[in-house]
Structure 1
Amino acid sequence: MNVIFGATGVVGGAVLDELHQRRLPVRAVSRIRTPHIQAMEHVRVDLSTGEGLAASLEGAHSVFLMTGDMVDQVGAEVRVIEAARHAGVRRLVKLSILGAESEAFFLARVHRAIEREVERSGLSFTMLRPGGFMQNFITYYGHSLRTEGVLRMPWRDEKESPIDARDIARVAAACLSSERFAGRSLDLFGPQALSYPEMVHTLARVSGRTLTYESVSDAAYREAVLPYSVSPAHVDGLIDMFRFHREGRAPSPHASVLEVTGTPPRSFEAFAKEHATFWRGS
């Protein structure tokens, strides 16, 4: 049994899909929402308290560990690690963050603290450290692009290599199913380094809409997103992470997705064309 935490999130849902397509036994774990694949086993767990956690891990062989934004993400994920060890789980794949090893920004420190607990647990493990998701242009940036035709971010022309969440899922499925990548931390990238102006230009071209990009200050970004965030510390953590990337301190891209799966990751162009209708209407 493969137990997927965060099964209703962007990455967790993609992992669920991937394992379902491979006809592997899957148990979806979430706190409130029900996974979109109705035919599979689903358990509700509140990671802030641990309620339901033991039942979710009964008979589990492998665990995919991720949580959504939480005030105490370290405490929540450590609960899963400890419960997995007591339940006799053999393998754990943790979704971490690019640059976690640096501990140079708030979210890196959060994930690295959890990684250390995984390393001390005695479980076979793999850490997945992706950069920005292509799906962010739907889940986080989609509203302003659809309603205002503009994306405002505290970036200028600096580039990153966004990755499709489904490619993260393909890597996760391979790591959940094999010991080949046990003990490794895998930085995950898309195939091309792009700036935010370039990505918005691509969305405009494939959707046929006028979409623009505006570079804003850290302070302006903080003011805009603070009302929708888990905490001020989380917003400040995002801004620190952006600064980390803007300063060119993130790991250099390499072909981990190809190494693990045998096929290259999806391009941003392909992602944009697939979802072009999303950005056409308000």
Structure 2
Amino acid sequence: MSTQKQNILIIGATGQVGLKTIELLESVQDDSIQIIAAVRSTEKAKQFTERGIASVLIDLNNEATFTRALKNVNRLFIVTGYTVDMLRQSKSLIDYAKKSGVQHIVHLGACGRDDTTVAHWAWHQLVERYIEWAGFSFTHLRPETFMQNLLSYGGAPVIKNGIIIQYVKDARKSWVDVNDVAAVAAQALLKPEIHNGKTYRLSYDAKSYYDIADLLTEAIGKPFKYVPHPPEDFLKTMKANGADMAYMDCVYKHYIRYAEGSIPGADDVFDNFYEITGKQPTRWADFIEKHKEAFTY
């Protein structure tokens, strides 16, 4: 492997996964890499500048920002937002990455088996295939539902006074901690020679919301209850919040399918985390203990 310093560009540097990935890369203190945070404004760059981390301005809706942002980048972490525009944004970014000489791409995708018919999961798999078609060294990450979604979703609390409001009846789902996703991303960016060509599905606990309510009750010492709501309530909330409705309509439809039990592998879990990171993954009991203060009411 070349001894030349490897520049690692993190798209979505201020988001949950991107920011934690940067923190993990920074903690390695590896002089052979340089971390570069991709941000949308100089204001958002300040937190990185203060820590001595390089930053570049990029707007995924403005291709004119891509060339400068990707200059001398060797490894790229792609994280896009929850809009249908992620398809166009990802394709354009990958095209420019190819022209710029990027060698390895780590892509944060979505849940599901290869044959998924859940729309927004399939969109991410199309991006995966485009990365492969373009000839990059690659690592695909497919996290299942984020545990952090029970702390908040779409800027709104999910649990109010011990009541969990969700939309999937008694479905048992697969879960992963955002920090564990970032840990795998960091390893894939640090050691592409090991993780090249790999697709990692990331989920390490399977629970229904009824199960989680029971765990919370036991850990917090106060009653928690799951109250299923119709998926139509979710759609109304997202519309009121100004979310991208093309994307959120897909989420709405997959909530219906969760409730019906018609998503194959909805509660799949995996044993790959220790092999990748040398650590044990977070499970729901661990997550609740870590976030006790946030869950307490």
Query: TM-score, with normalisation over the residues of structure 1?
Result: 0.90
Q: Which has the larger radius of gyration?
A: 2
CA distance in 1, matches of 2:289, 2:154: 17
- TM-superposed deviation, 1:55: 1.7
CA distance in 2, matches of 1:265, 1:161: 13
Q: Hey, what does 1:177 align to over in structure 2?
A: 190
1:262 alignment partner AA: G
- Deviations for 1:198-219, whole angstroms, at most 9, x for unmatched residues? 2233334434444321111222
- TM-superposed deviation, 1:166: 1.1
1:21 and 2:37 equivalent? Answer: no
Residue 4 of structure 1 contacts residue 27 of structure 1 at CA under 8 Å; is this kept in 2? yes
CA distance in 2, matches of 1:100, 1:34: 35
CA distance in 1, matches of 2:257, 2:196: 28
Structure 2 CA distance for partners of 1:114 and 1:141, relative to 1, 3 Å: closer
| 1:67 match: secondary structure | coil
Residue 43 of structure 1 contacts residue 52 of structure 1 at CA under 8 Å; is this kept in 2? no
- Deviations for 1:141-170, whole angstroms, at most 9, x for unmatched residues? 884346453222111222123111111111
1:10 and 2:19 equivalent? Answer: no
CA distance in 1, matches of 2:211, 2:284: 10
Residue 151 of structure 2 contacts residue 159 of structure 2 at CA under 8 Å; is this kept in 1? no
Residue 174 of structure 2 contacts residue 207 of structure 2 at CA under 8 Å; is this kept in 1? yes
Residue 134 of structure 1 contacts residue 162 of structure 1 at CA under 8 Å; is this kept in 2? yes
Q: Hey, what does 2:262 align to over in structure 1?
A: 247
CA distance in 1, matches of 2:231, 2:248: 10
List gaps (5 residues or longer) in structure 1. Answer: none
Residue from 44, 68, 78 that aligns with 1:34: 44
CA distance in 1, matches of 2:158, 2:243: 22
CA distance in 2, matches of 1:51, 1:139: 34
2:182 alignment partner AA: A
Residue from 85, 95, 98 that aligns with 2:98: 85
Q: Hey, what does 1:168 align to over in structure 2?
A: 181
Residue 144 of structure 1 contacts residue 150 of structure 1 at CA under 8 Å; is this kept in 2? no
| 2:194 match: secondary structure | coil
CA distance in 1, matches of 2:154, 2:145: 12
Counting only pairs closer than 5 Å after superposition, residues 180-191 of structure 1 correspond to structure 2 as 180-190=194-204
Counting only pairs closer than 5 Å after superposition, residues 207-222 of structure 1 correspond to structure 2 as 207-222=220-235
List gaps (5 residues or longer) in structure 2. Answer: 1-6
| 2:195 match: secondary structure | coil
Q: Hey, what does 1:75 align to over in structure 2?
A: 88
CA distance in 2, matches of 1:165, 1:31: 22
Deviates more, 1:141-150 or 1:129-138: 141-150
CA distance in 2, matches of 1:234, 1:247: 20
- Deviations for 1:15-69, whole angstroms, at most 9, x for unmatched residues? 1111111124211112246265442112221101224222221221111111122
Deviates more, 1:173-182 or 1:199-208: 199-208
Structure 2 CA distance for partners of 1:145 and 1:66, relative to 1, 3 Å: closer
Q: Hey, what does 2:151 align to over in structure 1?
A: 138
Query: TM-score, with normalisation over the residues of structure 2?
Result: 0.86
CA distance in 2, matches of 1:204, 1:232: 34
Deviates more, 1:119-128 or 1:132-141: 132-141
Deviates more, 1:219-228 or 1:172-181: 219-228
Residue 31 of structure 1 contacts residue 46 of structure 1 at CA under 8 Å; is this kept in 2? yes
CA distance in 2, matches of 1:45, 1:75: 15
1:150 and 2:156 equivalent? Answer: no
